[in-house]
Chains A and B, each alone.
Chain A
Amino acid sequence: EADIYQTPRYLVIGTGKKITLECSQTMGHDKMYWYQQDPGMELHLIHYSYGVNSTEKGDLSSESTVSRIRTEHFPLTLESARPSHTSQYLCASSEWGEAEKLFFGSGTQLSVL
């Protein structure tokens, strides 16, 4: 079944650690996104990609980086996590077209101690 997967679902780490949040989709979508969302708050776009080897920064400044080596995979990396990075990170994908429908993953809840 076509879907979008995020791992891990929950992550608690110490300050200074390097982490990678995984996101994969099986729908063959060219467009993928990372959003940051604090509890009960709006979504902020931090990165997006329109295809392999294409990555752009979003509307909210983030110290994270992303890569897009394969269509289905869009991982997000934090080189040195800090408590200010504590948040929920949502991955999404869509295909080109009018009124594009975003498909979201279940999210990764990151807590940095």
Chain B
Amino acid sequence: AQTVTQSQPEMSVQEAETVTLSCTYDTSESNYYLFWYKQPPSRQMILVIRQEAYKQQNATENRFSVNFQKAAKSFSLKISDSQLGDTAMYFCAFQETSGSRLTFGEGTQLTVNP
């Protein structure tokens, strides 16, 4: 069974600074998909960024980027120029193949301080 581990239950960062959230996973598959989801307080969970394992280039979405290290099975999220609205719970997720169910990590609570 696939596992997803987020070793940082809580993190904080000052506004405008950069923060990196860690995620590791375990799989024997060579192709799979990785995601970061954001759950703001009392609001809907939304997709932040996604990565296909067969793509070597790291995904980027505006201030959000990932560092995908396939050999190390690591998938960290970097948030640049942090904003107060980035305060949320962040979940790393793994999908083994297209159509299979997602496995979520335990989550990291990020607080952006003014």
B55 and chain A: residue at smallest CB distance:
A99
Contacting residues, chain A, for B102 (C-beta < 8 A): 45, 102
B37 and chain A: residue at smallest CB distance:
A102
CA distance A99 to B36 in the complex (A): 12
Known contacts A40-B89, A42-B105, A104-B45; A99 and B50 CB within 8 A of each other? yes
* Majority secondary structure, A binding face: loop
Q: Which of A96, A99, A104 has the most CB of B within 10 A?
A: A99
Q: Which of B73-91 contact A (CB under 8 A)?
A: 89, 91
A43 near B91 with CB under 8 A, answer: yes
Known contacts A40-B89, A45-B101, A96-B99; A101 and B106 CB within 8 A of each other? no
Contacting residues, chain B, for A106 (C-beta < 8 A): 43-44
* Majority secondary structure, B binding face: strand
Residues in chain B within 8 A of chain A (CB atoms)? 33, 35, 37, 43-47, 50-52, 89, 91, 95, 98-99, 101-102, 104-107, 109
A40 near B33 with CB under 8 A, answer: no
Question: B85 CB to closest chain A CB, in angstroms?
Answer: 17
Residues in chain A within 8 A of chain B (CB atoms)? 33, 40-43, 45, 48, 58-59, 90, 92, 96-102, 104-107
Contacting residues, chain A, for B50 (C-beta < 8 A): 99, 101
B44 near A105 with CB under 8 A, answer: yes
Contacting residues, chain B, for A92 (C-beta < 8 A): 45
A102 near B47 with CB under 8 A, answer: yes
B35 near A99 with CB under 8 A, answer: yes
- CB pairs A–B below 8 angstroms (8 shown): A96-B98, A99-B33, A100-B98, A102-B45, A102-B47, A104-B46, A105-B44, A107-B44
Question: A23 CB to closest chain B CB, in angstroms?
Answer: 13
CA distance A33 to B99 in the complex (A): 13
Question: B32 CB to closest chain A CB, in angstroms?
Answer: 9
Contacting residues, chain B, for A33 (C-beta < 8 A): 101
Contacting residues, chain B, for A105 (C-beta < 8 A): 44
A109 and chain B: residue at smallest CB distance:
B42
